[in-house]
Structure 1
Amino acid sequence: MTNQKQAMMYGLATVLLWSTVATAFKLALADLAPVQMLLIACLASVVVMATILVAQGRWHLVFRLSRRQYLQSLGMGLINPCLYYFLLFGAFDRLPAQEAQPLNYTWALVLAYLSVPFLGQRLRRIDILAGLVCYAGVVVIATRGAVTSLDFSDPLGVSLALGSTLVWASYWIIATRDSRDPVVGLFLNFLCGLPFIAVACWYTAGLDFPVGGSLAAAVYVGVFEMGVAFVLWSQAMKKAENTSKVSNLIFISPFLSLVFIYFILGEVILPSTYVGLVLIIGGLWLQQRKVRAREQALEHG
């Protein structure tokens, strides 16, 4: 099997996992507060990533970083998982999964915009057009089709979802200067963030967790969305001979996610969700065109 085929297999496996997490979020939040879910998921993720590092023979790398890199782990851990997932789970707690999930996908566009002031990249007309299309989709979904009235179904929930995209994009901009091994870095970020999440959980929602489906769903999120999916995607990017072909697999995820949301959660998918999602994916596709053009130029150059 060629490296590109392996990369596509890893990419498809990641997309399948990402497609299930919106459903898992809602199942977990049925009986858990967002901060309780975050604590359980973060703990499960730390265990999984530690196991992966041991299995890959890279556990020793955890202890070979500089003092500055350990401090970096603390700072980045406060951003992800602490702030990012608190906002994201808060959004899913307030919004139907079919609304919160597409809004979260706009982080890629936010990343392109933040790259202009922080990474010195140029803002092109295609980026502006992509933004207009993408956020038209956001408005359609957030108003459930009542675009002219701008009557948002849950303004706070929408704000939390869009706020999470800003935090996530900022995290990846900071990560461009991160020289740590990716899995080691994520493991330490989550390990450093865990005590803060535990204290916040104890102080607010408490540490009395109901045993049942919600607890299992929170563990699933930690194992697969926060842990395994990241490692699989890293492998896909590492093996890819053409990263744009692998990256395009991401566009399958939100549509596949609606299938799980419909059949498992029983949410009736609104026409406005389909329209808004198509606009969001269309905007992201436009934004990705320049990336594909640049890769093709390098391949033929």
Structure 2
Amino acid sequence: MTQQQRAYVCGLAAVLAWSTVATAFKLSLAHLSPAQLLLYASVASLLALLSILIYQGRIKEVLPAFQSHWQASLLFGAINPFAYYLILFEAYDLLPAQEAQAINYTWALMMSLLAVPLLKQPLKRNDIWAALFCYLGVLMIASRGDLLHFNFSNLNGLGLALVSTFLWASYWILNTKDTREPVLGLTLNFAFSLPLSLLWCAIHGELVSVSWKGIAGAIYVGAFEMGFAFVLWLFAMKLTKSTARIANLIFLSPIISLFFIWFLVGETIQRSTLLGLGFILLGLLTQKIQRT
């Protein structure tokens, strides 16, 4: 294969993995609490990332990086994975998977909006149109098409889903100033986040025996969504000659995700979800056209 073909393979593999996680979240949460899912998935992800570093012959870099960057690693780890995934899993626990995953895709727009005060970037006209399209889609999904009465299916779940987009966008904005190598940095994030997850479960009395089905789901979520998929995406972006070509693959993810939610979770995909997701994707596309 050519270098560009390898980039497509890595990118598509990452997108396929991300397309299954809404289903994996929902199935796992049938057996685990959100905090338990975070704890066991974090263990699986940390082990997966360490195995990647071992395969690359870079495991010796972990301790020096730990000593040099422990403060940044604690900050980043507290945001992602700890706070972000804890809140995201809570949202998935309250909302149908189809609603939570569609709302989660507005994080890219949230990042552009946060870049205005945090990075002093100007707010452009296309950003305003993108915001209108995306959040109209969110309202349509959350109200299940009843826009006149704003009768939300679960207001707490909606709020948590939107907060998760704020945390994820904030993480990536802060990440622009991160000097750590990406895979090594992500490994340190999980290393510092794991004690926080363990402490949270201990305080809330959630260190109890759980179903093997929940553990299996957490391993899948941690290894693939939090670990290997991220690394595959990094490889794709590194190999490609056109970042835009690889970035466009992400638009496939929500569509594939809805299929898995319907086929494996058994949710009936609402017309309002499809229409709302269409508005969200239109908003993201509007934003993307501006950049190109």
TM-score range, shorter chain: over 0.9
> Which residue is equivalent to 2:170?
170
> Which residue is equivalent to 1:244?
244
Q: Per-residue deviation at 1:68? A: 5.2
Match of 1:209, SS state, is coil
Q: How does 1:29-40 map to 2 (within 5 A)?
A: 29-40=29-40
8 A contact 2:35–2:200 mirrored in 1? yes
> Which residue is equivalent to 2:207?
207
In the alignment, is residue 71 of structure 1 matched against residue 71 of structure 2? yes
In the alignment, is residue 26 of structure 1 matched against residue 7 of structure 2? no
In the alignment, is residue 9 of structure 1 matched against residue 9 of structure 2? yes
TM-score under structure 2 length normalisation: 0.98
> Which residue is equivalent to 2:154?
154
Match of 1:65, SS state, is helix
Amino acid at match of 2:150: L
Structure 2 Cα separation of the partners of residues 228 and 67 of structure 1: 25
Structure 2 Cα separation of the partners of residues 194 and 48 of structure 1: 14
Amino acid at match of 2:140: V
8 A contact 2:66–2:188 mirrored in 1? no
Structure 2 Cα separation of the partners of residues 23 and 65 of structure 1: 35
8 A contact 2:31–2:211 mirrored in 1? no
> Which residue is equivalent to 2:104?
104
Amino acid at match of 1:280: I
8 A contact 1:91–1:160 mirrored in 2? yes
Q: How does 1:276-295 map to 2 (within 5 A)?
A: 276-291=276-291, 293=292
Q: CA RMSD in A?
A: 1.1
Deviations 1:56-109 (A, max 9, x none): 111122123375521110111110111000110000000000100000000000
Structure 1 Cα separation of the partners of residues 210 and 224 of structure 2: 21
Unaligned runs of 5+ in 1: 294-301
> Which residue is equivalent to 2:186?
186
8 A contact 1:33–1:205 mirrored in 2? no
In the alignment, is residue 224 of structure 1 matched against residue 224 of structure 2? yes
Q: Per-residue deviation at 1:238? A: 0.7
Match of 2:32, SS state, is coil
Q: Per-residue deviation at 1:218? A: 1.1
Structure 2 Cα separation of the partners of residues 287 and 199 of structure 1: 40
> Which residue is equivalent to 2:267?
267
Q: Per-residue deviation at 1:205? A: 4.1
Amino acid at match of 1:89: F
Structure 2 Cα separation of the partners of residues 24 and 107 of structure 1: 20
Q: How does 1:61-140 map to 2 (within 5 A)?
A: 61-65=61-65, 67=67, 69-140=69-140
Structure-2 change in CA distance of 1:119 and 1:68 (3 Å)? farther
Q: Per-residue deviation at 1:120? A: 2.3
Deviations 1:186-230 (A, max 9, x none): 000111010010011122142113233222111100000000001
Matched residue count: 292
8 A contact 2:27–2:217 mirrored in 1? yes
After the TM superposition, which parts of structure 1 deviate over 3 Å for at least 4 consecutive aligned residues?
Answer: none
Unaligned runs of 5+ in 2: none
8 A contact 1:209–1:215 mirrored in 2? no
TM-score under structure 1 length normalisation: 0.95
Structure 1 Cα separation of the partners of residues 154 and 48 of structure 2: 35
Of stretches 57-66 and 213-222 in structure 1, the one that deviates more from structure 2 is 57-66
Q: Per-residue deviation at 1:145? A: 0.7
Q: Per-residue deviation at 1:284? A: 0.4
8 A contact 2:19–2:253 mirrored in 1? yes
8 A contact 1:106–1:165 mirrored in 2? yes
